[in-house]
Structure 1
């Protein structure tokens, strides 16, 4: 497998989007899609996740690869900020879901996405939310405790 295809495969396996890969590799998103397409054809894969699975089975990639630090990600989406701010007090997923009129599954998904974007996925699960809230507050992505108290009043 050519080095560029292998690098793109590794980045896909670690959770990077085509846009992030393009930025890291200093190529266009269309070029990343082309490299990925060739790599998937070479492996006989139906899609990118299937390519990762086949590469692991073939010994090209080592088992489950953890996401490695990459370039700074985009700030949180509006929904991720809303969910993280609502969950900042340590409430359960079910409680936050009721607050935001959605499902606990959706809350969990938005929090997981926020953890990735804020770079706290390498921490133990029990520490991720607090670390994410701290990072988001320091970056001004969610209101500080004093501001949330004022908004609630």
Structure 2
């Protein structure tokens, strides 16, 4: 361990260890996302870590962070952005990326990126590639993040 952490770096590292996103940490600490990113990177550097998870591990091993962190329960406060929800809704019927892009006046690459972000936020990235979209749509519908199939047909 190279040197001690500042109070801000320690708090950011602790919140990261507990499963908060950088945006959620910024909101909680009333700072910018850039300030959170900077504090995170400085903590990594000060601890001589390779990555942020490695910094959390080293801080825990050194006794700087308490034992095993408690994970937050439930979904994040804002699990999908409006654009991610729009793309997931348009892709819910299993259409190709090109067709979804045409539907929402976007590009194939942007649709692919938004779907990947949605998969990550909905926690379906561990599934095989062919099952992710269906699982994401089902999860988002259960949480009320996108309209159900009945509402889509009625609209």
Question: What is the TM-score normalised by the length of structure 2?
Answer: 0.63
Question: Which residue of structure 1 aligns with residue 79 of structure 2?
Answer: 75
User: Residues 33-52 of structure 1: matches in 2 within 5 Å?
Assistant: 33=37, 35-42=39-46, 52=51
* Structure 1 unmatched ranges of 5 or more: 46-50, 61-68
1:4-153 mapped onto 2 (5 Å cutoff): 8=13, 11=16, 17-20=21-24, 28=29, 30=31, 32-33=36-37, 35-42=39-46, 52=51, 72-73=75-76, 74-151=78-155
Partner Cα separation in structure 1 for residue 101 and residue 37 of structure 2: 36
Q: Which moved more, 1:132-141 or 1:31-40?
A: 31-40
Gaps of 5+ in 2: 59-70
Distance in 2, Cα, partners of 1:91 & 1:28:
41
**Count, aligned residues:** 132
Deviations 1:33-86 (A, max 9, x none): 5642432443789xxxxx539x6xxxx7xxxxxxxx855221311111110010
Q: Cα deviations across residues 7-44 of structure 1 (Å, max 9, x unaligned)?
A: 939x59xx963234578xxx736585564243244378
Tell whether the 8 Å contact from 2:44 to 2:51 is kept in structure 1 after alignment.
Answer: no
8 Å Cα contact 1:8-1:32 kept in structure 2: no
Cα distance change of structure 1 residues 42 and 20 upon mapping to structure 2, 3 Å threshold: same
Deviation at 1:117, TM superposition (A): 1.4
Q: Is the 8 A contact 1:18 1:33 kept in 2?
A: yes
RMSD of aligned residue pairs (Cα, Å): 3.9
Q: Deviations over 1:82-102 (max 9, x none)?
A: 100100000011110111111
Q: Does 112-121 or 83-92 show the bigger shift?
A: 112-121
